[in-house]
Chains A and B, each alone.
Chain A
Amino acid sequence: MTLAIDNPIIQFKDVGKRFGRLIVLNGLTLDIERGKCLVIIGASGTGKSVLLKHIVGLLRPDFGEVWFDGRRIDNLDERSLMQIRQRIGFLFQMGALFDSFTVQHNIAFPLMEHTHKSDAEIDHLVKHKLTMVGLPGIGGKMPSELSGGQKKRVALARAIALSPEVILYDEPTTGLDPVRSDVINELIIKLQRELRVTSIVVTHDMHSAFKVADRMVMLHEGKIVYDGTPHAILEETDPVVRRFVMGEASEQDMASLNDEERSPSI
């Protein structure tokens, strides 16, 4: 079902993960190409974010292997993972900005941790990253003073602070109005073009998915049910994929709604 890729940057080999009785990933195999934008779609709870967290070692698989740039990473300890993590930027769903730090300090944090740059150099870099995400001059603000869209863009500036090779986006447009969502989409495309990074976007926003994707993968019940181009997904005949792309409720969902209507009100 999955595409074969030459020299992939990230590989999932028969990865399985469950939380208690809930099976989230069920023997998933996926190769991710360098320099392209992969969009992972799927209903809530199908393991999209779990998949993303395996790439940075925030979660470990119960079975199977995860590889990054030719090196197996699912068995590395936290200290060894630090080197890998510096090559990856992660945009969290809610931004995950540090509440007690200013915007400036948030973006400077990875630079202070992992480089020996002077304060002036870090200041200059932070300003540059903020300009890249279209928010120059807000370094002195606290995260609580920012709108949802601004928080995401500051979080993105922080994610690219160390000029990573891979950027992971976890639901980048969730909770934003359509205009702000499109700003984020344009930013993903811009960073992809300017920094020549590999982007992996987890989303269920189909408008966003079609706009940024070079390749689309759909997860369902812990497995890949579609792997191909955004164009070809429109021709897909699998009812699960079609319903998701078209945003249609399943017959099972409709039946449960009708059952609810028939049940006596309390």
Chain B
Amino acid sequence: MPHIIPEMPSVTIERFGRDSLNWLVAFGDFWRFVGHVFAWLRAGLSRKTLRLMPPLMYEIGVKSMPVVAITGAFIGMVLAVEAYNQFKSIGQENRLGAIINVSVVKQIGPVLAAVMLAGRVGGALTAELGTMNVTEQIDALRVMGADPIRYLVVPRFLVCILLTPILTIYSDILGVLGGWLVSVHGFGIPNEPYWHYAHAGVGVWAIMEGISKSVFFGGAIGLIACYKGFTCGAGASGVGRACMESFVYAFIAIIVFNFFFARLATQWYVALYGLKSLF
């Protein structure tokens, strides 16, 4: 029988203290993990690391295309459905293209594409690395003198930050087309004014804002998913819990980061170009 130190009776405040401490330790541990990933990036990418990326790009990128396409297209379509009546009531339905497209490329497109990827890609990465963890494959890598962060995390992180913007652009295009389809072919808005106002409303800044934040979303998804896989508990329940936490934390990171990014980007835009009205 193993030796066990008897547990002292705990009170609520003691448990709260312990939980807070555990949370702080996990938070610090995550940033140490992130530091380790960046240290390997700084040390330079080897051909070995780059050779690991194409299969991951297929798994993470190509296989995510259908879900991202559906998400993007329906976002555009539903925005058209929701906004049409309001715009029509003030006789401004021709301007629908501006509000739909600016919403798609700046906010809803990148955020929902990232949330979709946090579920599909983040879940899959955590499950894969978590299973490798509980079946001692990560320990096997370390024992064979290969750093698991360089070998497993760095290529996945790179693929996430490279492909999330590309998938976001793809989702944006489908969103724009979805909005156009419902507005022009569903509600009978003339084609020319629709695109005219869409073009006037969506500048390069809006497009770049959406794409640049998607790089950070991709990084957050990759790092959180890999960290959760590396630290998951034993057994099937451990992997399941890690997958769930991976999605929840990535989702929270995306939403919170998006708020601060939007605030900063808006301030910069107003400072540089002044307020731009859609009307």
Contact = CB atoms under 8 A, between A and B. Distances in A.
Contact of A90 (B1, B7, B143, B146): B143
Nearest to B131: A99
Nearest to B147: A78
Contacts of B132: 98-99
A86 B145 CA distance: 6
Given A21-B7, A23-B4, A45-B2, A114 B135 contact: no
B139 A92 contact: yes
Nearest to A44: B2
Contacts of A24: 2-3
A76 interface: no
Interface in A80-109: 82-83, 85-86, 88, 90, 92-94, 96-99, 109
A96 B145 contact: no
A56 B136 contact: no
A222 B2 CA distance: 7
A26 interface: yes
A69 interface: no
B135 A96 contact: yes
A236 interface: no
Given A21-B7, A22-B3, A46-B2, A85 B137 contact: no
Interface in B144-189: 144-147
Contacts of A43: 1
A86 B144 CA distance: 6
Contacts of A56: 142-143
Interface in B47-77: 48
Contacts of B2: 22-24, 45-47, 221-222
A257 to B, nearest CB: 15
Interface residues of A, number: 35
Contact of A221 (B1, B7, B137, B142): B1
A201 to B, nearest CB: 16
A7 B175 CA distance: 72
A3 interface: no
Contacts of B145: 82-83, 85-86, 110, 113-114
A213 B137 CA distance: 28
Central interface residue in A43, A56, A222, by most chain B CB within 10 Å: A56
Contact of B4 (A22, A26, A58): A22
B138 to A, nearest CB: 9
A82 B141 CA distance: 11
Interface centre among B6, B139, B140 (most CB of A within 10 A): B140
B5 interface: yes
Given A221-B2, A222-B2, A222-B3, A88 B143 contact: yes
Nearest to A252: B1
Nearest to A112: B48
Nearest to B146: A113
B143 A221 contact: no
Contact of A94 (B7, B136, B146, B147): B136
Given A82-B145, A85-B145, A86-B145, A21 B4 contact: yes
A241 to B, nearest CB: 15
Contact of B137 (A22, A82, A96): A96
Contact of B139 (A58, A98, A158): A58
A148 B136 CA distance: 16
A78 B143 CA distance: 10
Interface of A: 18, 21-24, 26, 43, 45-47, 53, 56, 58, 78, 82-83, 85-86, 88, 90, 92-94, 96-99, 109-110, 112-114, 158, 221-222
Interface of B: 1-7, 48, 131-132, 135-137, 139-140, 142-147
24 contacts: A21-B4, A21-B5, A22-B2, A23-B2, A24-B2, A24-B3, A46-B2, A83-B145, A85-B142, A85-B144, A90-B140, A90-B143, A92-B139, A94-B135, A96-B137, A96-B139, A97-B140, A99-B137, A109-B144, A109-B146, A110-B145, A113-B145, A113-B146, A114-B145
Given A86-B145, A97-B137, 14 more contacts: A18-B5, A21-B4, A21-B6, A23-B3, A26-B3, A83-B145, A85-B142, A85-B144, A94-B136, A96-B139, A98-B132, A99-B132, A99-B135, A113-B144
